[in-house]
Chain A
Amino acid sequence: DQQVKQNSPSLSVQEGRISILNCDYTNSMFDYFLWYKKYPAEGPTFLISISSIKDKNEDGRFTVFLNKSAKHLSLHIVPSQPGDSAVYFCAASASFSGGYNKLIFGAGTRLAVHP
């Protein structure tokens, strides 16, 4: 039972354009969402997060949007840079169950930003 889904395994974007990575979830009890970036031979690195009480969070070039009714979130990267090429994981957690910091991850989307 995949509770967090990233349906696009890969995405290719031109440098300077917008990258949009999507994530869907099924568990309505999730109340905190995070995006992680992973380079080869490194562990995932935290990028940005959003609480379920918000619908948008922005940090520099990165913005996360949350649509609770659709159980959907997206990560926007503007402008995209070659250094953004990595695998991006969406993750969710539910604080109610004592699920403190137990993150459920999607399968990831490989982003390639080309010149």
Chain B
Amino acid sequence: DAGVTQSPTHLIKTRGQQVTLRCSPKSGHDTVSWYQQALGQGPQFIFQYYEEEERQRGNFPDRFSGHQFPNYSSELNVNALLLGDSALYLCASNGGGSEKLFFGSGTQLSVL
């Protein structure tokens, strides 16, 4: 049973560029959430997708957008990258009303 998978594992971009990160949820899960983890901090909630719609959003600018596909996989897009966007981006999934989130290993984004 595959868990949450994310791609790519590492990414290097320059300021002003755009990036797309991808996530496949754990089998049987229909809800995908994205978190940003800066160095030395805990994960911060970006947004959550359910039934292909953004259900909740954290305190992140509109440069951060996402999408969920009919197969429940999801993408996180960040436009006009800033140096401060350098972080580990974690995808998490859950389903069946469970509060327990399952996390992927993350995408380490470096903005130069």
A interface residues, Cβ below 8 angstroms from B: 4, 6, 32, 34, 36, 41-46, 49, 89, 91, 93, 98-108
Q: Which residue of B lies closest to A45 (CB)?
A: B103
Residues of A within 8 A of B31 (CB): 101
Residues of A within 8 A of B94 (CB): 101
B99:A105 contact, CB within 8 angstroms: no
Of the residues A43, A45, A102, contact of B48 by C-beta under 8 Å = A102
Q: Let me know if B68 is at the binding interface, CB within 8 A.
A: no
B56:A99 contact, CB within 8 angstroms: yes
Q: List 25 A-B contacts (CB under 8 A).
A: A34-B99, A36-B103, A42-B105, A43-B90, A43-B92, A43-B103, A43-B106, A44-B43, A44-B103, A45-B103, A46-B100, A49-B99, A89-B42, A89-B43, A91-B42, A98-B56, A100-B48, A100-B56, A101-B31, A101-B33, A102-B58, A104-B45, A105-B35, A106-B42, A108-B41
B56:A102 contact, CB within 8 angstroms: yes
Residues of A within 8 A of B104 (CB): 43
Instruction: Give the number of residues in B that approach A within 8 Å (Cβ atoms).
Output: 25
A101:B48 contact, CB within 8 angstroms: yes
B interface residues, Cβ below 8 angstroms from A: 4, 31, 33, 35, 40-45, 48, 55-56, 58, 90, 92, 94, 99-106
A93:B99 contact, CB within 8 angstroms: yes
A49:B100 contact, CB within 8 angstroms: yes
Q: Which residue of B lies closest to A91 (CB)?
A: B42
7 cross-chain pairs, A with B, having the tightest CB-CB distances, nearest first = A105-B42, A43-B103, A43-B105, A44-B103, A105-B43, A107-B42, A43-B104
